[in-house]
Chain A
Amino acid sequence: MSRLVMGPFNRVEGDLEVQIETADGRVSSAWVNSPLYRGFEQILLGKAPEDALVYAPRVCGVCSISQSVAAAHALADAYGAETPPNGVHAINLIHANENLVDHLTHFYLFFMPDFAREEYAARPWHETVAQRFRAVHGSAAAEFLQARAEFMHLMGLLAGKWPHSLAIQPGGCTRAVTPRERLHLGNIVGSFRRFLEKRVFGSPLEEIAALDDIAALRRWQETHAPSRSDFACFLELADDTGLASLGRAADRFMSYGSYRGPEGATHFARGVWHDGRHSRLDIDGITEDVSHSWMAGETEPPARGLTQPDPERQDAYSWCKAPRLHGGTVEVGALARQVVDGQPLIRELVTESGGNVRNRVIARLLETARVTLAMVAWIDALRPGEPFHVPTRSLAECAGVGLTEAARGSLGHWLTIEDGRIRNYQIISPTTWNFSPRDANGRPGALEQALENTPIDDDGANQPIAVQHIVRSFDPCMVCTVH
């Protein structure tokens, strides 16, 4: 039995420490520590409710827009505000822009560079893969960064800047577009689409979005050379390194549903997927446990939650709280979103091998194709000349919940307003779910579960590569996690 402390982790957002205990060449137990606390939920107390729109995005420079969307939804819910259709579409476009950029930043800059590591020097693909995906210096980094920066022009136009925009308000979007600008939005998405079809997939997006079972994916893989498609390259690496057998957690998936339509329903469905069944998500079943967090208090639902640091708390090992749904751990992210939504390939992959490193990455890329196609439709739906924003009326005593999906999973804001001021503000971020510590019943968080039983071949190495893959497969955002 030996214990290993791993950190700082590179290419995750923010700081992360993982401790693993190994026995007989496998991880027997893992503890995940989020070592940074900033206290946004304390900072927001007593502020004017709309100031949350300034503070909330700054919880996270990566999921900044998602935080804006959650805050605006929470305010709109509290005030009973409505958003006109143009506002809905514009906000979805801004949000999708961030989410897709996050998916590909994860793929190109955070996840794939691990395959350039020396541990894989003996693999036949290593030299080509290292040349393409090595951190900073690989050919993919510069190519992707250019496509990324150009795609973010959509953000410049609709949201002013990224990160930390104030364009998303409870009454809609602050930026109306002219007919010319609507065309320009289409051109920006068109140019990004070309990058996706040429480099990421080597295939039309419709073909990727239509992959409906494992056999279809395998057929697609046979006809697409890894040298011409980064997705095909990933599938080859995944097969060769056994990524489908790494990082399985509890296989209980949750999604709040994302990209609200003008009628209120979400583009991707809300729900829970467990044991091959879809069930309704009961938001009231969410609680936050603090038994292993450096936090005072007891388990509470977020609407009544308290955030008060207690660095001396017994048994605590993380600043992160432990959110649970009906007392159980759930996994959130693109895989959860797509399996809950019923994308047939993802459902079959999850049925076959559960949540694992390979399936999480496949879901992220598949979602990238699906959302890009949706963006084209949202641009078409914009009606220049009709309102993008309608005035809202604030209320002095009210409460609201804002639920949305960041790239890396479910994000919720719970807000209580008293006397026209913020009385309570609680945030549960995606990585709070995925990287939570144990709860009072000793049940580990999703990553802690996913690390158990991981084979540690390179005994003695201080950074086992399998652990690196598993950690990054969740696309963690540590600044969000504790906030």
Chain B
Amino acid sequence: MPNFTVIWLQSGGCGGCTMSLLCAENPGLTERLEDAGIELLWHPSLSQATGGEALQQIEAVLGGQRRLDALCVEGSLLRGPNGTGRFHVLAGTGRAMIDWVRELAAVARHTVAVGTCAAFGGVTAGGSNPTDACGLQYDGRYPGGLLGTGYRSGAGLPVINVAGCPTHPDWVLDTLQLLARDELAAEHLDQFARPSMYTEHLAHHGCPRNEFYEYKASAVQPSDLGCMMEHLGCLGTQAHADCNTRPWNGEGSCTRGGYACINCAAPEFEEPGHPFLETPNVAGIPIGLPTDMPKAWFIALSSLAKAATPARIKQNARADHIVARPSRKTRRS
């Protein structure tokens, strides 16, 4: 079988999705690519080729001499100033990156947005969005973006949005490997064209703070062990991602690291409308409720759970290490 060829371009992002990719392990990145038959025609951080040699790869694809199985774009697409794309002119070419991306997307069998920036605009589109940044096929939560709603790649798929800030190395490699095996179809994408293999879970699943969540025993300051939903801005119960069942860098995740999930794989996560690390509430009830949870039930269950919270859980929730241990069940003789 011929190799699955990839050109990877970086634009209005931080390079962090590539850095995260390098954290792939068991097997590591280079072995994984080799085993999956994935060939990087060009990747700006990894390839041997530089300057003219790199541009030749791109030209060969555009000239039809080289087949391009996947165009991966990392970073948002900068349309400004005034639609010129001049905020990123690809070095050595005098040409805006958005023009290169449009042209390559037109010939690619698949187009993959790596990271929330390339998918939806992400952090670069935050605040006043000074560069008129957007995603490949989304502008925030609205379809469109650089390539437009009608865009379909050579294989007939929309842009595949491997969102995340950054992306987990497995999300990216699993997606590419599935594409290489022809095993990723439209039905495997969610409502934002993200591969549902990682977005059909919630970041809440597998969170080690679940017992605190159950009893609404809440952390009040960073480093407390309790649930961070009530006060510290945690969106784990609403975030579509498998971060706590597919850990990061060995055993990690945001909530395991002691800080809130900020729902970074979602469109417009960069503008939550309140400070990231505070939970907005109305009369003590958090405004964002757990996904699929009716409000009345949440309120009822919360007050019941709070009333039933064991002392152990209440104490530990506001400590940075276990101060009360589980009691031992005495056996009836």
Residues of A within 8 A of B (CB): 5-11, 13-17, 33, 35-39, 42-48, 50-51, 53-55, 58-62, 64, 105, 109-110, 113, 116-117, 134-137, 141-142, 145-146, 148-150, 152-153, 155-167, 169, 171-176, 178, 309, 311, 319, 384-385, 387-389, 391, 462-463, 468, 479
Roughly how many angstroms separate A96 CA and B53 CA in the complex, as a whole number? 35
Give the shortest distance, in Å, between A384 (CB) and chain B (any CB): 7
A47 touches B127 (CB 8 A): yes
Majority SS of interface residues in chain B? loop
Roughly how many angstroms separate A152 CA and B14 CA in the complex, as a whole number? 19
Give the shortest distance, in Å, between A456 (CB) and chain B (any CB): 14
Roughly how many angstroms separate A441 CA and B243 CA in the complex, as a whole number? 52
Asked if B126 is at the interface (CB within 8 A of a chain A CB), the reply is yes
Asked if B307 is at the interface (CB within 8 A of a chain A CB), the reply is no
Roughly how many angstroms separate A38 CA and B25 CA in the complex, as a whole number? 31
Interface size in chain B (residues, C-beta < 8 A): 80
B221 touches A391 (CB 8 A): yes
Give the shortest distance, in Å, between A217 (CB) and chain B (any CB): 30
Roughly how many angstroms separate A468 CA and B50 CA in the complex, as a whole number? 9
Q: Interface 1/0s, chain B 229-253, versus A by CB < 8 A?
A: 0000000000000010001111111
Chain A residues near B305 (CB-CB < 8 A): none
Asked if B19 is at the interface (CB within 8 A of a chain A CB), the reply is yes
A53 touches B223 (CB 8 A): no
Contact (A463, B277) CB under 8 Å given A61-B19, A146-B25:
no
Chain A residues near B279 (CB-CB < 8 A): none
Interface residues of B in 79-130 (CB under 8 A from A): 81, 86-93, 123-124, 126-130
Give the shortest distance, in Å, between B170 (CB) and chain A (any CB): 12
B28 touches A61 (CB 8 A): no
Between-chain CB contacts (< 8 Å), 7 pairs: A7-B93, A10-B50, A43-B129, A61-B19, A149-B25, A157-B250, A163-B19
Query: Which one of A7, A167, A479 contacts B92 once the chains associate, using CB atoms below 8 Å?
Result: A7
Q: A136-B46, A389-B223 are in contact. List 8 more A-B contacts (CB 8 A).
A: A6-B51, A10-B46, A38-B12, A42-B130, A55-B126, A160-B253, A160-B259, A174-B258
Roughly how many angstroms separate A14 CA and B10 CA in the complex, as a whole number? 7
Chain A residues near B23 (CB-CB < 8 A): 148-149, 152, 162
Chain A residues near B11 (CB-CB < 8 A): 36
Chain A residues near B92 (CB-CB < 8 A): 5-8, 17
Asked if B144 is at the interface (CB within 8 A of a chain A CB), the reply is no
Chain A residues near B47 (CB-CB < 8 A): 10-11, 135-136
Asked if B165 is at the interface (CB within 8 A of a chain A CB), the reply is yes
Contact (A134, B16) CB under 8 Å given A9-B91, A33-B91, A156-B251:
no
Give the shortest distance, in Å, between B200 (CB) and chain A (any CB): 21
Chain B residues near A50 (CB-CB < 8 A): 275-277
